[in-house]
Amino acid sequence: MHHDQSAAITACNLVKQFDGVEAVKGVDFDVYPGELFGFLGPNGAGKTTTIKMLTGLARPDTGTIRIGGIDCTKNPRAAQHLIGVVPDESNLYPELTGFDNLSFCASLYGMKKEERETRAKQLLKDFGLGNAGLRKFGSYSKGMKRRLTIAAGIIHQPQILFMDEPTTGVDVVSARQMRQLIFDLNRSGTTIFLTTHYIEEAERLCHRIAFIVSGQIVKTESVEALLQPIQAKYVLQFTLTSPLNGMEKKMSETFPEMTFHFPETGLIRAESDVPIGVGPLIRFLEDHGIEVTEARKIRPTLEDIFVQITGIKAKAMSSDKKSGGKKR
């Protein structure tokens, strides 16, 4: 891959092994200044390992990293002043108040007392934590904890922000607030690198997305370009009362202008480049003793593309990670 010198983040052929297992197998991408770049993939695909290498918490076995034009391969902390990190688990102190946590983080970046206190108060206000600033972090709800963790990550106004699964495990309202925060931060000029296994989140927030599966990027593309080719297709989904019993071949022969998919028993998905009439298909099925309970038009989503590109069932992607699987 030819890398752009003006990129905010460049990962060139990153490889990382743990106990002889390759968690990341040669990851390559550029993130441009001001971009909101999504790193999308199932749990265990290598998202957390990649973000740890980029933020200097893990060293790649091979490959190079440039952040803000600075080569961080030999010295992982060379670009620390440019970056903010919001880890997937909070790294703040439960016994300190929200305000003291933020002030402490600011002091690590060498901010003067007055400046850090002003900034901490402002962020508490911006993030809807004004009243909670004097309470201990340990007493916060999950959503409040995540918001304060984001505030801590941007206390020094970094140009580049890394976020690992920012909305995993928080309630719907908090997740919505968080997405708005991320959107606003990006709009104000912050370059954001975001890992997620929520396809919908990636589709809503990101300009470009890299799909990572088993430690390798299978595709990197703008959301528009990903959705473009299938927006032109017409898709109908039929729900049946009984299985097809080997009718698949006959269906394809009878309607050669359509492509059929059978995602699961009792479901048929028909795709075509021209509008599809529901009638002929339903009649065909009923003539063969198969009853249709529902026929609906489907607007293709990023989920469909993800399944096409990666072959991974989208269910594996949207379920919340309650299984305490080890993250890579």
Q: Rounded to an integer, what distance in angstroms lies between the CA atom of residue 163 and that of residue 205?
A: 13
- Joined together, the tokens standing for residue 26 give 């040669």
| Strand pairing report for 9-18 and 62-67 | antiparallel
- Joined together, the tokens standing for residue 158 give 């970094």
> Which tens digits make up the pLDDT trace of 35-48?
999 999 988 899 99
- Joined together, the tokens standing for residue 98 give 């929200």
pLDDT at 230: 61
Q: Rounded to an integer, what distance in angstroms lies between the CA atom of residue 186 and that of residue 129?
A: 21
Low pLDDT (below 50) residues in the chain: 319-325
Q: How far is CA 263 from CA 226, 236, 237, 268, in A?
A: 21, 13, 10, 7
pLDDT at 321: 43
| Strand pairing report for 36-40 and 191-196 | parallel
pLDDT at 226: 85
pLDDT at 322: 41
The stretches of 219-320 forming alpha helices (DSSP H) are: 223-231, 248-254, 278-287, 302-310, 315-318
| Strand pairing report for 21-31 and 9-18 | antiparallel
pTM: 0.79
pLDDT at 9: 97
Q: Rounded to an integer, what distance in angstroms lies between the CA atom of residue 99 and that of residue 121?
A: 7
> Which tens digits make up the pLDDT trace of 246-305?
888 899 999 998 999 888 888 898 988 888 888 999 999 999 989 999 988 877 678 878
